[in-house]
C-alpha cells in the first residue's frame, strides 16, 4: 500500500492493478516466453530514444551480450550465477531487475511454491487416470455380475 500513487483513490483498484501486473502472463513476451533479467536490465538502462543511459550501462550490456553469445544455451535459474550477476556482481539484499523489494527469500519461497504446485498438478493427473481405470474396471464387473 505504501507504493500506491495518490491519483488512485480506491485500494481495490490498486490491488487489481498490482495483481494484473504481477501475474506470469503479464511478464511474458508475445511469443509466450518469460522476460529474462537481462532483457529487464537492458530496458532499464535504455532511454526512450534507444540511447544507453551511460558508459557503465553500455559496458555492462556489451558484456552481457558477449556472455549470452558465448553461452547461447545458458538458462540458469540460479540468480547467483546468471548473466546479470556475472556482469554487475551478485545481488545483495534484494534481487536486481525483478522489482523493488524482491528478496532472495521471497524468490525462493515463490519458486518452491511453484515447484510444489507443479508436483500437485502432476499427482492430480495421475490420480485422474487411476480413477478412470477403476471406474472402467467397476463398470466391467457390474456388467459381468448382471450377465
- Cell numbers describing residue 71: 553461452
What is the distance between the alpha carbons of residues 38 and 75, in angstroms, rounded to a whole number? Answer: 11
> Can you give the residue ranges of every domain in the chain?
103-147
For 119-143, what is each residue's pLDDT tens digit?
Answer: 999 999 999 999 999 999 999 999 8
For 32-58, what is each residue's pLDDT tens digit?
Answer: 666 677 787 788 788 888 888 888 888
Answer whether 0.75 is exceeded by the pTM: no
What is the distance between the alpha carbons of residues 37 and 94, in angstroms, rounded to a whole number? Answer: 13
- Cell numbers describing residue 135: 471406474
Question: Max Cα separation, the chain?
Answer: 85
For 81-116, what is each residue's pLDDT tens digit?
Answer: 677 777 777 656 556 666 666 766 676 677 778 888
Amino acid at each position: 500500500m505504501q507504493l500506491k500513487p495518490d491519483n488512485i483513490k480506491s485500494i481495490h483498484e490498486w490491488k487489481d492493478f498490482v495483481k494484473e501486473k504481477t501475474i506470469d502472463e503479464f511478464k511474458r513476451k508475445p511469443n509466450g516466453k518469460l522476460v529474462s533479467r537481462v532483457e529487464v536490465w537492458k530496458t532499464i538502462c535504455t532511454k526512450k530514444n534507444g540511447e544507453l543511459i551511460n558508459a557503465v550501462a553500455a559496458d555492462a550490456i556489451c558484456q552481457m551480450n558477449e556472455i549470452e553469445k558465448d553461452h547461447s544455451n545458458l538458462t540458469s535459474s540460479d540468480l547467483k550465477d546468471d548473466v546479470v550477476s556475472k556482469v554487475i556482481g551478485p545481488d545483495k539484499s534484494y534481487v536486481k531487475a525483478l522489482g523493488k523489494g524482491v528478496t532472495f527469500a521471497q524468490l525462493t519461497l515463490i519458486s518452491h511454491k511453484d515447484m510444489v504446485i507443479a508436483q500437485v498438478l502432476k499427482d492430480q493427473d495421475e490420480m485422474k487416470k487411476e480413477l478412470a481405470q477403476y471406474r472402467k474396471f467397476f463398470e466391467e464387473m457390474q456388467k459381468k455380475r448382471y450377465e
